[in-house]
Structure 1
């Protein structure tokens, strides 16, 4: 028993030492020469692994930017000071999936345990950006002084405009698309703030609403035992129920990821909201939903993928098969840089902790399979089609009515590939805003996460060029809607859904006999 206690004590002690050393490195300047080595390493790995590195920027321009970066590094810098120099250069590649990660502070087990029993600080709100201004979009906990529509003027006595100006170079989108940047910064500026100033128990905030300026402190509140128990019971009930599983209940957003509704009394219009293509229980959801649609009088289907950041290629391919009546090929063969590129993929990252030992045992078989998975066509290397994205037949219960798809600048990755294919085939009418993901495809799928040796920053690099089977537009922008409708700040804060309202009104005009 004494030995067991000793081993536990040593384990805890070594963990604390590891956290301490990690955090000390975060605050230790790295020599200019070593940081320049990290710049070279990052660029070399990008050239070796990224299958379309010069899609939106020429090689000469990118060479110049990396060379120029090195000339600006003339003194030792802390890792996150170096991040602020390298991240904007990575962003110039204009790949929304490609981003450098800052050196995050590591927490002790006690700090992690304490945070689990606390509510967030800035993370408790949703924000909306209007130029260089930030407004509170949602305050579900009804925290005083942060009502919906409140403008954030300063945090820690720093004007919000200055913070946005500092963080804006760290975000990027696919190609020359502009719409994604606003949504990305709306989501990410609080995390940039936390990365810069740490996890705070409270923060000084200056706000304005109804022309009244207030200064106060936002505090990190504790979760009571009653609140925690109530939430755990509710989440357990929903996630284990058949409805919760099939609709993919999300315990963080406290909402269903997918849902099908009939918003009119006659059920001639169906509305399907998909918040993310998570892949979880998606097959069963679409099977049930389109069986329901088949039996219903629905002649119109509105698919809402606004603020959907993408996810599973299998899911969008499966959904598409319910929307068409003819055989189709959804995406082209996936291009990689070399036969050995997929050996660099983050193999263990896809397995839960308990399964990792088994994954290590079967790793040799993975290597053999990977070695046999490529083919060479016209001096380019592609992954052999494994059948998922080959020529496919439509589903028996495919929907034959008219399809509207709602998109915005936060429809990204897979949520751009789907409307791109639907638009190319003239199968859906797109309403809203240009998507944040590119019309002609993206570089994502599997990643190779490179750890820069000296600064310890992480750079995940997409290994697969994924493109829909369409006639490419070569616009280097997102999917453009057939009807552009961009909500104003006032409409957003008033919760007016002008894009959905337009689609409903258009259907009513097309089919006046409904009334």
Structure 2
């Protein structure tokens, strides 16, 4: 299996080269050309949301930006814009591993966690300098709307979705600021106090990365959003919350690596016991399924979970394909192995798997064999009452596939906010990673272009996340009181 790395905004790479060192136009153009060729040949999702003229246009823009030597960071930002423009949350472009820590060392970070509430950027930390809940208007004379627009490229989402970018803003605002505008010694902030309209100004000192991380761990909203930014110790739970209502929470689908994994089998047994109980208890007419923290995971956890809610036969995908059986531009691949012979074996194993799962070529696409996408049946203890599905911008990948199947193929009432993962499909399943020859920037994407087995619905829009039936967002007052307004709304709806 080719190397799969974690998203750079969660684990920022070490920096070893001077930020002021510039690379030649020739080297940058070569890397940009290689990047373009790789994505056109290997990335089956390159034209999923953008037309060929649109993709050609952004590359024309990118080449126009490197008429003169540039620093690695400046070139990296150009590559990030292209990566984000394609529209896949599985796209991941990272700086080279050996790029210098010097860039991020010392007291250079914005000190306080922030959060987007009602399209306003507010302080999400109790402190003595700028009160909790204060609305940020500008930082170092850069207005908030520009900050947020500049930061969008650092966190990829499916299609044209921007709600999911709030997850990146919430977790990595200080890192984005440093990347975009350089290290800062201090920050001059213009802001409104909570529920006030008088503009105030204050200059605060920058802090180290260690203090930044500690402040984030102590953010005001921790009690509600802790599972959105870290792995849950209890990945799933089930409880009866009233005489007629039960709650199933599944915070992740990282529950074992495959169908034979012990952790997955334990999860399957747990679901069996929960839904066996529900099938025997006629009083429980309502089931709340909370996947608001679910950023994805592995098969078949998502599909198995859906089997307990399905009312008719279903498939994981309506259609899936890849662009190749033999890996293009293999000389730029990133391997798990280091020895040449083992690299060759790794490449061959990968290609053999592709040929088995995607054996038939049609119109330049290698189509998934039906044995890898069989017609599945609802579980014998499937729930037949009313389902309430809670969703949020955090939901992605396998999480959004599950939520799409529930939204499209059951009677579920969907409550919350638009997901970052698409309703109709995404690129996923199989990641591949390349390294550019001169800058050593790495780029990873998933190669399987899939359409999810969901019907067209009037409120679901191509290129967007799953749209809830009842949009329920946290207000400023809800934020200050840490109220779970979506759960409260659902319980009132049931009553």
TM-score, structure 1 as length reference:
0.73
CA distance in 1, matches of 2:26, 2:452: 43
Aligned length: 448
Correspondence for 1:496: 483
CA distance in 2, matches of 1:53, 1:464: 11
CA distance in 2, matches of 1:78, 1:168: 21
**Shift in Å at residue 179 of structure 1?**
2.5
Residues 119-148 of structure 1, C-alpha deviations (whole Å, 9 max, x = no match): x976984633554x42234x4xx6654764
User: Cα distance 1:365–1:66, how it changes in 2: closer, same or farther (>3 A)?
Assistant: closer
**Shift in Å at residue 194 of structure 1?**
4.4
1:294 has 2:276 as partner: yes
SS at match of 1:276: coil
1:306 has 2:299 as partner: no
Correspondence for 1:69: 62
**Shift in Å at residue 302 of structure 1?**
0.8
Q: How does 1:400-479 map to 2 (within 5 A)?
A: 400-472=384-456, 475-479=462-466
Correspondence for 2:237: 259
User: Cα distance 1:487–1:357, how it changes in 2: closer, same or farther (>3 A)?
Assistant: farther
**Shift in Å at residue 323 of structure 1?**
1.4
Correspondence for 1:6: none
Correspondence for 1:381: 366
User: Cα distance 1:367–1:423, how it changes in 2: closer, same or farther (>3 A)?
Assistant: closer
Contact 1:121–1:219 (CA under 8 A) maintained in structure 2:
yes
User: Cα distance 1:196–1:136, how it changes in 2: closer, same or farther (>3 A)?
Assistant: same
Of 244, 250, 262, 1:274 maps to: 250
CA distance in 2, matches of 1:54, 1:299: 44
**Shift in Å at residue 459 of structure 1?**
1.5
Correspondence for 2:5: none
Contact 1:450–1:461 (CA under 8 A) maintained in structure 2:
no
CA distance in 2, matches of 1:251, 1:472: 32
Correspondence for 1:52: 45
SS at match of 2:400: helix
CA distance in 2, matches of 1:369, 1:343: 18
Could you tell me which runs of 5 or more consecutive residues in structure 1 were left unpaired when the two chains were aligned: 1-18, 228-248, 509-515
Of 35, 40, 43, 2:33 maps to: 40
TM-score, structure 2 as length reference:
0.76
Residues 219-278 of structure 1, C-alpha deviations (whole Å, 9 max, x = no match): 45979xxx9xxxxxxxxxxxxxxxxxxxxx9995675332223223x3x21122223222
User: Cα distance 1:415–1:252, how it changes in 2: closer, same or farther (>3 A)?
Assistant: closer
Contact 1:102–1:195 (CA under 8 A) maintained in structure 2:
no
CA distance in 1, matches of 2:334, 2:385: 42
**Shift in Å at residue 446 of structure 1?**
1.6
Contact 1:447–1:462 (CA under 8 A) maintained in structure 2:
yes
Indicate the structure whose relative CO is greater, using CA pairs within 8 Å and at least 6 residues apart.
Answer: 2
**Shift in Å at residue 342 of structure 1?**
9.2
Q: How does 1:133-152 map to 2 (within 5 A)?
A: 133-137=120-124, 139=125, 144-145=128-129, 148-152=132-136
Q: How does 1:73-472 map to 2 (within 5 A)?
A: 73-103=66-96, 106=99, 125=113, 127-131=115-119, 133-137=120-124, 139=125, 144-145=128-129, 148-152=132-136, 162-195=146-179, 204=187, 206=189, 209-210=193-194, 214-217=202-205, 219-220=207-208, 252=230, 256-264=234-242, 266=243, 268-280=244-256, 281-295=263-277, 297=281, 298-341=284-327, 363=346, 365=349, 367-376=351-360, 378-379=362-363, 380-385=365-370, 387=372, 389-472=373-456
Relative to its length, the structure with more helix (as a share) is 1
